A and B are shown apart, each in its own frame.
Chain A
Amino acid sequence: MDWVTIISTTVKAAIGVETVLYALAAIGINVHFGYTGLLNFGQAAFMAVAGYGLAVSVTVLGLPFWVGIAVGLAAAVLLAIILGIPTLRLRADYLAIVTIAAAEIIRLVFRSVAFKDIFGGSDGRRGFSNGFYALNPFPEGEYGFGWFTFNHRVTWVLVVGWILVALSCLIVYLLMNSPWGRVIKAIREDEDAVRSLGKNVFSYKMQSLILGGVIGALGGFIYGLAFASVQPDIFGTETTFFAYTIVILGGAARVLGPVVGSMIFWVLLVLINGLLSGAVEAGYITFMNSTQVGPVRFLLVGVGLILLLIYRPQGIFGDKREIAFDAR
Chain B
Amino acid sequence: MHADTTTTGRKAAALAAFKDLARDPGVPKPDPILVVDNVVRRFGGLTAVEVEHVEVQRGSITALIGPNGAGKTTFFNQLTGFDTADSGQWTFNGSSMNGVPPHKVARSGMVRTFQLTKALSRLTVLENMRLGAQAQKGESFWRALVPGFWRQQEDEITQRAEELLVRFKLDAKREDFAGSLSGGQRKLLEMARALMVQPELVMLDEPMAGVNPALTQSLLGHVKDLREQGMTVLFVEHDMDMVRDISDWVIVMAQGAVIAEGPPDTIMSDARVIDAYLGAHHDAPLSDSELEEQLHQAEAALEAEIEEETQK
Please list the residues of chain A having a beta carbon within 8 angstroms of any beta carbon in chain B: 171, 174-175, 178-183, 185-186, 188-190, 192-201, 207, 211, 321-322, 324-327
Contact = CB atoms under 8 A, between A and B. Distances in A.
B18 interface: no
B121 A189 contact: yes
Given A189-B120, A200-B103, A183 B197 contact: no
Contacts of A211: 141
Given A185-B122, A198-B197, A180 B144 contact: yes
B168 interface: no
11 contacts: A175-B141, A179-B144, A182-B131, A182-B139, A197-B111, A198-B104, A198-B197, A199-B139, A321-B180, A322-B177, A326-B122
A199 B194 CA distance: 13
A189 B119 CA distance: 8
Interface in B36-63: none
Contacts of A181: 144
Given A193-B114, A322-B177, A325-B179, A186 B123 contact: yes
A18 B79 CA distance: 53
B200 to A, nearest CB: 13
B207 interface: no
B150 A326 contact: no
Contacts of A179: 130, 136-139, 144, 150, 154
A193 B118 contact: yes
Interface in B214-231: none
Contacts of B106: 195-198
A193 B139 CA distance: 16
Contact of A193 (B120, B130, B137, B196): B120
Contacts of A325: 121-122, 177, 179-180
A178 B177 contact: no
Interface string B132-161: 101011111100110100100010000000
Nearest to B176: A321
A80 to B, nearest CB: 13
A266 to B, nearest CB: 29
A175 B141 CA distance: 8
Contacts of B196: 197
Contacts of A197: 103, 106, 111, 131-132, 193-194, 196-197
A211 B121 CA distance: 25
B116 to A, nearest CB: 10
A171 B145 CA distance: 7
Interface string B193-209: 11011000000000000
B147 A174 contact: yes
B122 A182 contact: no
B121 A196 contact: no
A189 B122 contact: yes
A192 B111 CA distance: 12
Contacts of A180: 138-141, 144
B80 interface: yes
B127 interface: yes
A178 B103 contact: no
A240 to B, nearest CB: 24
Contacts of B130: 179, 182
A198 B104 CA distance: 6
A324 B176 CA distance: 14
Contacts of B197: 197-198
A326 B194 CA distance: 23
A320 to B, nearest CB: 12
